[in-house]
Amino acid sequence: MESPILPYTKTDLVRYFLRLGTIGFGGPPALVSAMHSDLVIDRRWITEEDYREGMALAQLAPGPLAAQLAIYLGYVHYGLAGATLAGLAFVLPSFIMVVALGWAYIQFGGLPWMQAIFYGIGAAVIGIITIGTYKLTTKTIGKDPLGWMLFGLSALATAVTESELLWLVLLSGGIYWLVKTPPQFIRPGVGHSLVPFIAQLPALPTESVLWKLAIFFAKAGAFVFGSGLAIVPFLYGGVVKEFGWLTEQQFLDAVAVAMITPGPVVITVAFIGYLVAGLPGACVAALATFLPCYLLTVLPAPYFKRWGKHPGVKAFVDGVTVAAVGAIAGAVVVLARRQLVDIPAVLIAVASVGLLYRFKKLPELSLIGAAAVVGLLLRYVG
């Protein structure tokens, strides 16, 4: 039996994801929407059913949503080769941009104009994350009382401890599962065998900075659920509070860099890695973060149709997602406390929230550019 003739080649796949990774601004919602519009509706490379299964799997597994969806869509017709090529093509453009910005940040970070630019951008990022969290929260939780309770608990815990509590996220998934789908259909999860391995990572040699980066970012990639912003509280707790690799201002600048570059927001890990250990640090941080995401997408992909629609699995994912959104909300509070240090910064953040709420299609990049100009004006004119 002859194989069906596909409407696109591997080269076409790579070209598409290189393009999306180069010009795809707006974070996970915009990128996921673009893939549906381009690949399902316009080009008809992917069926609606395959797309929905990819979305479900990306929601189920930890890691960046948009990157996982890109990997799955590459897998649909071209297996591991397609998944690998799609993932690399999608991430590579933003990785190169972030490393270049990391070099510029180190070279010129001490200059007043660079600090002024990031002062304005940092305040605008607080506004962008705030409105993004608001939209994500209302869409995810809706009118579910249990969801709001778990959301509030996670948000409060993150704001108080200034880090994402992994046990609380997983506990939220367990509670949601027990309440929404009684445990008569208990089955072990696919990621179960991965947990002991990740838990033993700290036992590996950790003398060098690169080892520490690899271990920390592997945990981030293996345990952080939700959108790209979900990784922010986890990273803050590690790179600022635990290891002290970055100052609080440098960390917020890293988040800002992720917001002003296209592609997945989680690529901020490369900027952090570059600040800590140069180009090797950027490569190690990016690889360690995206490798679990890649494996947790391609390994269960052949079997997902069989178990992905199980109500118990869906309920657990819903609970984890609610807690992840709560952690994002808590992270907004943590970051705002440090960035909004004076009235101009507060006004920039409030204006960003107001503009994004009023004008739904306002490009975030234009808002960030305007905030950078305002930061310069405040330093040199004010």
**Tens digits of residue pLDDT in 40-59:** 888 999 988 888 788 878 77
- Dig out the tokens for 329 from the structure: 């909300």
Residue 260: inside a domain, yes or no? yes
Residue 17: inside a domain, yes or no? no
Q: Which residue has the higher pLDDT, 313 or 220?
A: 220
Is 276 exposed, middle or buried (CB count within 10 Å of its CB: 0-12, 13-18, 19+)?
Answer: buried
Element (H, E) at 217: helix 209-223
Residue 223: inside a domain, yes or no? yes
Q: What is the dihedral of CA 302, 309, 191, 229, to 10 degrees?
A: 110
pLDDT at residue 186, rounded to an integer: 44
Spatial distance between the Cα atoms of 270 and 120, rounded to a whole number of angstroms? 22
Spatial distance between the Cα atoms of 275 and 99, rounded to a whole number of angstroms? 9
The string of DSSP codes covering 129-180 is HHHHHHHHHHHHHTT-HHHHHHHHHHHHHHHHHSS--HHHHHHHHHHHHHHH
pLDDT at residue 18, rounded to an integer: 96
- Contacts of 164-170 with CB under 8 Å at 24 or more apart are 164/224, 164/230, 164/233, 164/234, 164/237, 164/327, 164/330, 164/331, 166/223, 166/234, 168/323, 169/223, 169/225, 169/320, 169/323, 169/324, 169/327, 170/320
Say if residues 293 and 67 touch (Cβ distance below 8 Å).
Answer: yes
With a cut of 60, say whether residue 200 has pLDDT above it.
no
pLDDT at residue 302, rounded to an integer: 84
Average pLDDT over residues 291-296: 90
**Tens digits of residue pLDDT in 61-95:** 777 878 999 999 999 999 999 999 999 999 999 99
pLDDT at residue 206, rounded to an integer: 53
**Tens digits of residue pLDDT in 160-189:** 887 667 678 778 888 888 888 876 544 444
Spatial distance between the Cα atoms of 315 and 299, rounded to a whole number of angstroms? 21
- Dig out the tokens for 194 from the structure: 């991965």
Residue 31: inside a domain, yes or no? no
Domain of residue 261 covers: 112-380
Average pLDDT over residues 118-146: 82
How many domains does the structure of the chain reveal? 1
Residue 67: inside a domain, yes or no? no
pLDDT at residue 92, rounded to an integer: 95
Q: Which residue has the higher pLDDT, 111 or 152?
A: 152
pLDDT at residue 287, rounded to an integer: 94
Rg for the chain, CA atoms, rounded: 20
How confident is residue 246, by pLDDT bands cut at 50, 70 and 90? very high
pLDDT at residue 10, rounded to an integer: 94
Q: Is 64 left (phi over 0), alpha (psi -120 to 50) or beta?
A: beta
Average pLDDT over residues 232-255: 87
Q: Which residue has the higher pLDDT, 112 or 34?
A: 34
Residue 195: inside a domain, yes or no? yes
Spatial distance between the Cα atoms of 158 and 164, rounded to a whole number of angstroms? 5
Q: Which residue has the higher pLDDT, 325 or 359?
A: 359
Q: Which residue has the higher pLDDT, 86 or 207?
A: 86
Q: Which residue has the higher pLDDT, 338 or 367?
A: 367
Residue 359: inside a domain, yes or no? yes
Distances (CA, A) of 46 to 61, 69, 130: 21, 12, 33
Task: Calculate the average pLDDT of the chain.
Answer: 81
pLDDT at residue 255, rounded to an integer: 80
Spatial distance between the Cα atoms of 224 and 368, rounded to a whole number of angstroms? 26
Residue 60: inside a domain, yes or no? no
Average pLDDT over residues 265-290: 92
With a cut of 50, say whether residue 198 has pLDDT above it.
no
Say if residues 273 and 262 touch (Cβ distance below 8 Å).
Answer: no
Distances (CA, A) of 382 to 15, 283, 376: 46, 40, 9
